[in-house]
């Protein structure tokens, strides 16, 4: 048994957002749901204002990228979806959300995180600590962030995953992490894109790595990820040309010297 509090104090989060000058409302918390992204898309259709955020203690049908499932065990992480309105550059949002998670890892958790293009957040060992899934509704985008918090090394949902606990050695204060995450997300989506790109290039561990690119329709190729372009697309040098990766799945692959 633990007396560790796994429910964020959403009223307090609302107060702290307001005190920091963020106009977003206090988040909502539910103990269990299928997917906060699915719920937030419905909430957006019902008129939820910009910055409305739903957090769940558990998701029974958490959605990952490429139709995968996102394991969201009870009390083990921060499973959140934030509704954004009035955004003109939708493909930028997952990258900005990844920057927000890296920001909060450093500012609240004190650990260095990096980004696997486009928006997986990796801990110091290169294992995944957070995943991001942005989904569009009629006039809103839902940015879903799954941040692993209390998993220990022996109960990780995936051998390639890590958690806040593993990275920091301490159990996360949900209220502190949630307010930090929302403030960073608010800041990133309202920042100059060119400035964010500078940070993204610095924090993206894919750049400079040998990668294998799996294409959505099948097929793959390998090359060195040399940069991201001004739209955040990955540029991969396959030895003959520099190819632009817009969609697809990039697997970091280290080639033996």
Interaction site with ligand BTN (CB under 6 A): 35-37, 59, 62-65, 68, 70, 72, 79-81, 120, 131-133, 144-146
Residue closer to ligand BTN (CB basis): 109 or 146: 146
Residue closer to ligand BTN (CB basis): 21 or 65: 65
Q: Which residues make Cβ contacts (< 8 Å) with residue 246, sequence separation at least 6?
A: 233
Residue closer to ligand BTN (CB basis): 82 or 197: 82
Least Å distance, CB 134 to ligand BTN, is 9
Rounded CA-CA distance 76/14 in Å is 22
Residue closer to ligand BTN (CB basis): 59 or 114: 59
Least Å distance, CB 64 to ligand BTN, is 3
Give the three-state DSSP class for 191: coil
Using Cβ positions, the residue closest to ligand BTN within the complex turns out to be 131
Rounded CA-CA distance 214/216 in Å is 7
Contact 59, 37 (CB under 8 A): no
Residue closer to ligand BTN (CB basis): 94 or 223: 94
Least Å distance, CB 39 to ligand BTN, is 8
Strands in the chain per DSSP E? 28-33, 53-59, 77-84, 114-116, 120-122, 128-136, 141-148, 210-214, 220-228, 234-237, 242-245, 249-252
Residue located via tokens 């894919």: 206
Give the three-state DSSP class for 77: strand
Least Å distance, CB 63 to ligand BTN, is 4
Least Å distance, CB 241 to ligand BTN, is 29
How distant is the alpha carbon of residue 190 from its chain centre? 17
Residue closer to ligand BTN (CB basis): 78 or 165: 78
Structure tokens belonging to residue 24: 């977003």
Least Å distance, CB 37 to ligand BTN, is 4
Cα angle, residue 187 at apex, residues 182 and 191 outer, rounded to 5°:
150
């Amino acid at each position: 048994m633990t007396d560790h509090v796994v429910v964020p104090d959403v009223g307090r989060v609302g107060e702290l957002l307001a005190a920091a000058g963020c106009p977003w409302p206090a988040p909502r918390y539910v103990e269990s749901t299928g997917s906060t992204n699915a719920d937030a898309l419905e909430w957006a259709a019902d008129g939820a204002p910009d910055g409305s955020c739903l957090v769940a203690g558990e998701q029974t049908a958490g959605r990952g990228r490429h139709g995968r499932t996102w394991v969201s065990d009870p009390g083990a992480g921060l499973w959140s979806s934030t509704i954004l309105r009035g955004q003109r550059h939708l493909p930028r949002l997952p990258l900005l959300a990844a920057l927000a998670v890296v920001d909060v890892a450093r500012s609240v958790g004190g650990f260095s995180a990096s980004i696997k293009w486009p928006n997986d957040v990796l801990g110091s060992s290169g294992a995944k600590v957070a995943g991001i899934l942005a989904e569009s509704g009629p006039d809103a985008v839902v940015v879903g962030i799954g941040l692993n918090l209390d998993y220990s090394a022996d109960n990780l949902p995936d051998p390639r995953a890590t958690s806040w606990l593993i990275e920091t050695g301490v159990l996360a204060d949900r209220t502190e992490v949630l307010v930090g995450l929302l403030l960073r997300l608010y800041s990133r989506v309202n920042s100059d894109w060119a400035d964010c790109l500078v940070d993204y290039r610095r924090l993206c561990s894919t750049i400079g790595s040998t990668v294998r690119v799996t294409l959505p329709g099948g097929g793959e190729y390998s090359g060195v990820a040399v940069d991201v372009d001004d739209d955040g697309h990955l540029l991969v040098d396959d030895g003959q040309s520099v190819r632009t990766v817009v969609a697809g799945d990039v697997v970091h692959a280290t080639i033996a010297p």
